Amino acid sequence: MAEVSYIRLSSEDLACNPLLPSLVDCYRQVFADAPWNEWLKCPTCGTRKGIQEVNGKPVMCTDCAVQMIDFWPVDQVRQDILHEVGDMDAQCWLLVADEQVVGFCWGYPISLAQLAKKVELSLDLWMDQAGLTPETMVAYQDELGVLNAYRGQGHARNLVAKRMVDFEHAGLELGVMRTQTDPPTVTYHWYRRKGYEIVARYPEPDTRVLMAMKLSEFVP
């Protein structure tokens, strides 16, 4: 396997960065796999299929009899990254092999009021219990992903550790992230083992949760 390196991606001039197209492709590939299976979706009913289910062939939705489309279109992912990494001035690290992005990790400072609006979830109960205010700034750990071939080698841990150092240098004290519990993602299990606790849940049947932990207590 190719030798890998960790590269800090600057938010400045992101649109011109030669690694951006590879980052877009890596993002789409990561979420095309289980447990997300976000490769194709039915434009009518929203049914989705993972990349392992389609073998690169066009797929018709069995319920709606229409052709399924990209779950994450290239242009949409590119614009999302330009916003999340560029406009939000994110702390972003990439895992690179043979000049191709094979992993990514980014997050950014955000107030709890802005975060509640972004994730479309009330955080009032958590703030009351934890003595936080809408103006409290937290480190929102937005995305983390590594291609299948590079998993199980500690790369996700290293990416998160580098991002944590950036957060601490920025004076942030609380890390917050969102994931799903049913089916539980690899990310969910990993952060739980590290000590993250669920602080807010989406209404059923949505299985997503918000988790948080003091950065000073985090051990990579």
Q: Which domains does the chain have, with CATH numbers?
A: 4-217 (3.40.630.30)
10-residue mean pLDDT series, the chain (220 residues)? 90 92 97 89 94 84 93 97 89 96 96 96 96 97 93 93 92 94 86 94 95 90
pTM exceeds cut of 0.85: yes
Identity of the residue numbered 111: S
13: its two tokens: 């001039």
* Ramachandran angles phi, psi of 131, nearest 5°: 70, 35
pLDDT for res 129 = 95
Query: How far apart are alpha carbons 107 and 90 in whole angstroms?
Result: 5
pLDDT for res 12 = 86
User: Using omega within 30 degrees of 0 as the cis cutoff, is the peptide bond preceding 35 cis?
Assistant: yes
Query: How far apart are alpha carbons 150 and 162 in whole angstroms?
Result: 18
CB 170, CB 91: distance < 8 Å: yes
Sign of the four-CA dihedral 142, 148, 152, 158:
negative
